[in-house]
Structure 1
Amino acid sequence: MNKMKRFFKYPKNVVNSYLYSLFRGYYHLRLQVLSFSPIIIMLVFSQQAFSQLTGRLDIDFIVDGNQLATPLTGGLNAPQLSEVDFNNDGMQDLYIFDRIGNRHLTFLNTGGEDYEYAPEYEENFPPVTGWILLRDFDGDHIMDIFAYSDAIVSGVMVFKGEYEAGKIKFVRHNFNELLNIIFIPLQTGGSTQLYVSEVDVPAIDDIDCDGDLDIMTFSVAGGYIDWYRNTSVESGFGMDSLRYVLETNCWGGVFESGISNEINLSGGAGDCYEGFQDESVEERHSGSTLLTFDRNNDGKKELSLGDISFSNIILLNNGGNCGEAWFNAQEGNFPAEDVAVDIPVFPSSYYLDVDHDGIKDFLAAPNSTAAAEDYNALWFYKNTTSNEYPSFQLQKKNFLIDEMLDFGSGAQPALVDYNADGLLDLVVGNYSYFVPFGDRDPRLFLFLNTGTATNPAFTLEDDDFLNMSLFSQSSYNYAPTFGDLDGDGDMDILIGEQYGQLFYGENTAGPGNPVNIPSVTYNYLGINVGQASVPQIIDLNRDGLKDLVIGEKNGNINYLVNTGTTTSPVFNPDPAMPPNIFYLGTVDTRIPGYSTGHSAPFIIDTETDGYRLYTGSEIGRIEVYGNIDGNLGGTFSTQTETFGGLAEGIRTHLVLEDLNEDGFLDLILGNFSGGLEIFGTDIPKYINVSNEEVADVDGLRIFPNPADEKIIISTNHSSGELIEVELYDLTGKKLLTSKWSGVSQAIDVSTLPPAIYVVKVLRGHQIRVEKIIVE
């Protein structure tokens, strides 16, 4: 399997990515000698600040010995499922909308039992919040969209599906009404919107057997179900007219009180249950999910119902007829023939064929945006009989999720060479796994890079790294970062957490050795930034001391200045006290209407404009700021508020690093659905080194230059001392590595095409980089 397959949206390959950057700037080769790190950038290509993504990276992840099929899909917390044919090949694919972060996910049916993640279809789905269901309302065999309205009132908007170049897209249906949503006539004259709550999931189905789609949803007062009948066909209009009337506000005769997990049934067809209703019912009812399907092949639709207060699904049997539903019996824990749905909290249900055997299956998932099951979040019940008389058997509780990286809620990545093998390993902190009754299960996860320098692959090594779950009673929402805080040459760890403080773990291994952090301590130096601290260790004022930049829930970014020494850092724990700056760059990741911003900063150094700030946010977009150097007390310039046009969920956290040695930084992005995605960028990798850090490799000579067959590398070092040489082309691709312990070494370049290349020579902590020409 190709461990580094790219799905490019911009340049088609690394070379074109490089050429693309040339049109937007210029490049030059920076030759300098570095002495402080074995990880070095030889090539630095200048570019404008408005960098772009070059596509998704497909990197292997192995968990418990199994290679995940779709690891980098971003996780799932509150999935809503629909069938749709994305590519007009006649096979029904799978669309998922995750309420947590309002994310679209698209999976192709390739003819086998499994799905293939196909994110290229996601861009044609419109922005949606709350709920979305795909149904064919006009009978053209192309799925259309019904969704919660984007207007200022709770209603329904519709998008018509159509194909363009073999790919489905959606066009907003025009109702010629105020706000362009579905309206219904009032008996008193005038009209009002067809009401569907953002919290609920309605049923959209042909209930009266006339061929067009009706809508069933709970009334604005709660408790009773409204049936909005589609009168398009019987009124002489086409199916695409979508003309609705409120047929009844007591569909099926039932009442849901919200104070019991049973439904109150009426005494007979045409009756409406009229029980007591206390003042708390409307508030308690704010959340119900509906699904209709024919369970017994009698032509009438049964109703599957979930409630925000309970973890079960109720199935109501329809003893009425097409014109008048009457729910005369209930199955309180559905499906009774097997393990019943038990999803805390607020389950929703879906009826579609997900194993591609031509028989529709039953699936259930949480629909809550608050604390709810966040790993076993998609229950798959296989229909073992037929579409006419379905019978459901539970297959798994984490359908699709078991092939993803899913850390429950929240995913906050960091990189470090943990085992000192020269490859970057991955540490991910989560907000928590869901635990009933208010408990939490926050963790750090350690993935070792078991691939190569150009083809990384990550294997789960420890699912409770540093035993951070032991702090679950007092802390959660872990955001790790690594840096050498104590100046001993190895990487220590800081971990942000929910209450704005920091954990600190000293790495006692020493330079060049595998990380060894015997323990972590809470409340590092008394630092507290409020809530949801997200730290980065960086020398922001370039004084040679490692400072702290810390994001937080409020959306501002805190800068804590190190006033100590390289080996003994000192910070004023109060972000508002000088020399600290609690509103760094006046950056605020909140947007109008939001009281929180959840800033998650990551600062990189660039050759063209010095430091550049990338930050995740509450709404998920990545904001980019410049004009930082020499302006720490001023206002940073906004370079873009929507880096890469990303919309990959809420509470995003990022890290930028070159994962595949192509010379460009890659973006690892986590979100609150508990997953990761990885993208290539056209941002050149760069490390700025001050003059004080330059130390040449003693007596180094590289000749001849230009060369045609071989180059000779010689030094005056003593025999037995290890020398390492790496050769790169101008895209940053490593072509060869050679190690020897003699005085000189010949490198064969006869097979290389004529071009400029870069040679890097490493001896201990001395590094030399030079350009050579092969003729």
Structure 2
Amino acid sequence: MRFTALFLIISTTVWGQSAYTADFSILVSTADDQLLTQAWAGGINSVQVNKLDLNDDGIEDLILFDRTANKVLTYTAQAQQYIYAPEYETFFPDDLNNFLLLRDFNGDGRKDIFTGNPFGIKVYLNISNGNIPDWQHLLFQNSNVILTTGFSGKTNIQLQADDVPAIADMDGDGDLDVLCMNFSGNGKIEYHKNTGTLAAPDFVRTTQAWGGVTECGCENFAFNNTSCIVNGRTKHAGGKFLLTLDVNEDGQMDLVFSESACNKIFLLINEGTSENAVFTQATAFPDNLKTNGTYPVAYYEDVDFDNIKDLLISPGVFQRNDDVTNFSQSLYSHKNLLQNNNVQFAPPVGFLQNQMIDVGENACPAFFDYDGDGDDDLFIGTFGVQQDAVFRSTLWLYENTGNTQQPSFKFITNDYASLSTYQVYNLKPQFTDINKDGTTDLVFTATTQAGQTVLHYLLNNSTTTLSLQSTLTLTDFSVFFNENIHLYDINRDGLPDALVGKANGAIEFWKNTGSATAPTWQIENTAFLDIGQSFLRQNPSILISDLNKDAKQDLVIGLQDGTLQILSDFTTALNFEDAEKEVTFNPISRQFEVRNFGGPVWTTAFSSSEQNYLVVGNYLGGLQILKAKTLENNFSVFPNPANKQQAVFIESTTAGIVYIYSTQGQFISSVATQKGTSELSFGMLSAGVYLLRFSGNGASITRRLIIY
């Protein structure tokens, strides 16, 4: 019998040379030796909070949508805590914008997606069947967005980009209605009543002045359908946030309101009914709110597993719009001490962020053995925080307290070398020998208080540790604010040249025409490796490193949209066309995918004696670790046991040959497989136990396979 008849390759998913999987195993502790349970979850800036059962286990998981990165963050509920699970993020629609609200629209018990669109509110129905989320765009009479009946027939429900509507059952008829701010900017709230059915929703705008309230500016409201005081009302130029909940057990929906120009949230108690609301006053809410910049927004979800909804507070901004917002502490939970429809909120406590590395914004990682103990320590450049009325960057340090086989990190300081005293911000570090004296120096780009983004460096006095001189050198090498510089000897003349990731998407090569003690750079090529202008590649970050320890230098590009591109052995490449984009393995889909890490992103690499890692820092102020997939730990066979009628998958990081034997050692046959995931059929085998031996790249691994 020919083996090809019983061992049929149905399909193959090919892996490139760059193959990574998310890794959360490296321990990180605080200064007082408390372990961070979510160290590598990647940070949080400005999130909207929802819950949804992702994996069909009957327990709702946590779904965050971060406005600053336009990114979904997924956490699974495990043993009454939330564990970051990025493998689910790829299953959400890629066109989510402005807001994400999860509500059951059609009454099937599964929460659906409501999200922003330039023309209104877009809906995706949850059509999941099993443990993988799946969505279907819902059309409204061939419209991409929800339609409502207004004065002149059907029209879309138009929102400002930074508005967040309230979507709830306002009239108690079992379907969802919509509250939103009037788009024209008159400060009033529209009520769109759903007069249809769960299967066929039909919205009618019943009032353009719900509750008789008009928002007139920060902390200023007009009630009883009266007008704002002359010159007291601002036009609807900024975002407005609406949330409805019953706070006093009267069965009527009250209103939680905030707006982008204000640093407070307000509660308006409903003295009428949910449909025909009456408001007469607004009070600060909650009374123990922790102020953190402008536009705080509130979400109402149970996050402590007591079946009572809590209040979650986070900024509602798309980007930093002041100097006081602290994005490293930007998500708080107020525990509800009473019940869902009669609330009393405890003082705020940090939620999720207090268990992860989060430096605020623009986490730019770099590794160097600062204490000379033989393992790499972790440094993180930051965008900045306000200190003594000056917005400035600091350099964080986590010391590697593990060993060469198993790294672990401990927080040491958030202001290494007192870099904050230089009063620069937007700091992006790199360790390299800039003056070619045999010691590794600290080089960084940063923006001065005068607004100039310049390459700086501090020379190192030691060949074994990091002992920085106190004199900061400012070079004459300046770039635009968000552009990135990476130093590397491109032309191999012994001097560090520069690659610059430009605002227009190009990567420029700047040749070092100076000397070891007086470096200076001149532009040599405006499109290095033909990486020219591209709107999709604004301000690319750059890393040159031997990622897989094959003595060849690889090029990693981090993009504005949070994705990575990797070109292996870039010194022999003619252009960037062969760069790999699908570099992250998803254990659910069993595929490699393009992944948004929370853009823009910056990368660095480090290795233990056992493993190579790529560390990704992001706009959200956090880090994520990618572990290189290797042959030794990644030849697998699944499902196992397997029914003889079902497909079996062989997964490996290199091409090779699979040999099949009986348990008595009798050779049956063999088949060649490609790098990646091969789908095989064992239909001609009898039920029993078999040995699969995979040989490739000089290694051999054996796995048992049970066929029934």
Question: Where on the TM-score scale, by shorter chain, does this alignment land: which range?
Answer: 0.7 to 0.9
Conserved 8 A contact 2:526-2:532: no
Q: Map of 1:343-492 to 2, 5 A cutoff?
A: 343-371=292-320, 372-396=325-349, 398-433=350-385, 439-472=390-423, 475-492=424-441
| Shift in Å, 1:246 | 1.2
Partner in structure 2 of residue 108 of structure 1: 76
**What amino acid maps onto 2:358 in structure 1?**
D
Query: Structure 1 CA distance, aligned partners of 2:226 and 2:46?
Result: 32
**What amino acid maps onto 1:355 in structure 2?**
D
| Shift in Å, 1:212 | 0.8
Partner in structure 2 of residue 509 of structure 1: 462
Query: Structure 1 CA distance, aligned partners of 2:352 and 2:604?
Result: 26
Partner in structure 1 of residue 249 of structure 2: 297
Partner in structure 2 of residue 313 of structure 1: 265
**What amino acid maps onto 2:212 in structure 1?**
G
Conserved 8 A contact 2:442-2:460: yes
Larger mean CA deviation between 307-316 and 130-139 belongs to: 130-139
Conserved 8 A contact 1:626-1:637: no
Q: Which of 84, 89, 97 is equivalent to 1:122?
A: 89
- Evaluate the alpha carbon distance shift between residue 248 and residue 522 of structure 1 in structure 2; reply closer, same or farther with a 3 A threshold: farther
Deviations 1:522-558 (A, max 9, x none): 422x211333453333221123333233334443333
Deviations 1:479-513 (A, max 9, x none): 11111223332211101113331121111112xx2
- Evaluate the alpha carbon distance shift between residue 457 and residue 221 of structure 1 in structure 2; reply closer, same or farther with a 3 A threshold: same
Q: Which of 29, 47, 53 is equivalent to 1:62?
A: 29
Conserved 8 A contact 2:254-2:274: no
Q: Which of 126, 145, 164 is equivalent to 1:181?
A: 145
Partner in structure 1 of residue 134 of structure 2: 169
Larger mean CA deviation between 635-644 and 368-377 belongs to: 635-644
Query: Structure 1 CA distance, aligned partners of 2:411 and 2:233?
Result: 48
Question: What percent of counterpart residues are identical?
Answer: 28
Query: Structure 2 CA distance, aligned partners of 1:23 and 1:106?
Result: 26
Conserved 8 A contact 2:454-2:479: yes
RMSD: 3.0
Partner in structure 1 of residue 124 of structure 2: 159
Query: Structure 2 CA distance, aligned partners of 1:590 and 1:479?
Result: 23
Query: Structure 2 CA distance, aligned partners of 1:435 and 1:302?
Result: 39
Partner in structure 2 of residue 739 of structure 1: none
Greater C-alpha radius of gyration: 1
Q: Which of 670, 685, 706 is equivalent to 2:617?
A: 670
**What amino acid maps onto 1:198 in structure 2?**
A
Query: Structure 1 CA distance, aligned partners of 2:177 and 2:234?
Result: 26
Deviations 1:76-130 (A, max 9, x none): 1101001222223332222111111112112222343x32222232222112121
Conserved 8 A contact 1:412-1:479: yes
Conserved 8 A contact 1:444-1:464: yes
Partner in structure 2 of residue 210 of structure 1: 173
Conserved 8 A contact 1:61-1:457: yes
Q: Map of 1:551-700 to 2, 5 A cutoff?
A: 551-564=501-514, 568-573=516-521, 575-576=522-523, 580-588=524-532, 590-591=534-535, 597-605=538-546, 611-625=553-567, 629=571, 636-637=576-577, 639-640=579-580, 643-644=583-584, 645-659=594-608, 661-662=610-611, 665-682=612-629
Partner in structure 1 of residue 213 of structure 2: 254
Conserved 8 A contact 1:379-1:394: no
**What amino acid maps onto 2:76 in structure 1?**
L
| Shift in Å, 1:635 | 5.3
Is 1:244–2:222 an aligned residue pair?
A: no
Partner in structure 2 of residue 226 of structure 1: 190
Q: For 1:122, what is the secondary structure of its paired residue?
A: helix
| Shift in Å, 1:410 | 1.0
- Evaluate the alpha carbon distance shift between residue 609 and residue 561 of structure 1 in structure 2; reply closer, same or farther with a 3 A threshold: same
Is 1:265–2:229 an aligned residue pair?
A: no
Query: Structure 1 CA distance, aligned partners of 2:31 and 2:532?
Result: 41
Is 1:197–2:146 an aligned residue pair?
A: no
**What amino acid maps onto 1:97 in structure 2?**
F
Conserved 8 A contact 1:484-1:490: yes
- Evaluate the alpha carbon distance shift between residue 463 and residue 341 of structure 1 in structure 2; reply closer, same or farther with a 3 A threshold: closer
Conserved 8 A contact 1:409-1:433: no
Q: For 1:175, what is the secondary structure of its paired residue?
A: coil
Q: Map of 1:304-343 to 2, 5 A cutoff?
A: 304-331=256-283, 333-336=284-287, 339-343=288-292
Partner in structure 1 of residue 480 of structure 2: 530
Deviations 1:701-750 (A, max 9, x none): xxxxxxxxxxxxxxxxxxxxxxxxxxxxxxxxxxxxxxxxxxxxxxxxxx
Structure 1 unaligned blocks of 5 or more: 1-21, 25-46, 267-271, 685-754, 759-770
Count the aligned residue pairs: 605
Deviations 1:307-329 (A, max 9, x none): 10111110001111133111123
- Evaluate the alpha carbon distance shift between residue 184 and residue 615 of structure 1 in structure 2; reply closer, same or farther with a 3 A threshold: same
- Evaluate the alpha carbon distance shift between residue 420 and residue 207 of structure 1 in structure 2; reply closer, same or farther with a 3 A threshold: same
| Shift in Å, 1:134 | 0.6
Query: Structure 2 CA distance, aligned partners of 1:348 and 1:530?
Result: 33
Partner in structure 1 of residue 111 of structure 2: 143
**What amino acid maps onto 2:211 in structure 1?**
G
Conserved 8 A contact 1:257-1:277: no
Query: Structure 2 CA distance, aligned partners of 1:667 and 1:589?
Result: 26
Conserved 8 A contact 2:364-2:602: yes
Conserved 8 A contact 1:482-1:494: yes
Query: Structure 1 CA distance, aligned partners of 2:204 and 2:387?
Result: 44
Deviations 1:439-491 (A, max 9, x none): 4231111111111222211111221012111122xx21111111122333221
Query: Structure 2 CA distance, aligned partners of 1:681 and 1:230?
Result: 51
| Shift in Å, 1:147 | 0.8
Q: Which consecutive aligned stretches of 4+ in structure 1 deviate over 6 angstroms post-superposition?
A: 606-609, 755-758
Query: Structure 2 CA distance, aligned partners of 1:682 and 1:217?
Result: 48
| Shift in Å, 1:341 | 4.6
Conserved 8 A contact 1:363-1:378: yes
Q: For 1:226, what is the secondary structure of its paired residue?
A: strand
- Evaluate the alpha carbon distance shift between residue 23 and residue 386 of structure 1 in structure 2; reply closer, same or farther with a 3 A threshold: closer
Query: Structure 2 CA distance, aligned partners of 1:530 and 1:104?
Result: 29
| Shift in Å, 1:584 | 2.7
Conserved 8 A contact 1:86-1:121: yes
**What amino acid maps onto 1:314 in structure 2?**
F
Conserved 8 A contact 1:656-1:667: yes
Conserved 8 A contact 1:228-1:244: yes
| Shift in Å, 1:683 | 8.7
- Evaluate the alpha carbon distance shift between residue 514 and residue 212 of structure 1 in structure 2; reply closer, same or farther with a 3 A threshold: same
TM-score by length of 1: 0.73
Partner in structure 1 of residue 646 of structure 2: none
Deviations 1:554-577 (A, max 9, x none): 433333323455xx254434x44x
Q: For 1:320, what is the secondary structure of its paired residue?
A: coil
Partner in structure 2 of residue 274 of structure 1: 227
Partner in structure 1 of residue 101 of structure 2: 133
Query: Structure 2 CA distance, aligned partners of 1:84 and 1:277?
Result: 46
Q: Which has the higher contact order (CA 8 A, sep 6+)?
A: 2
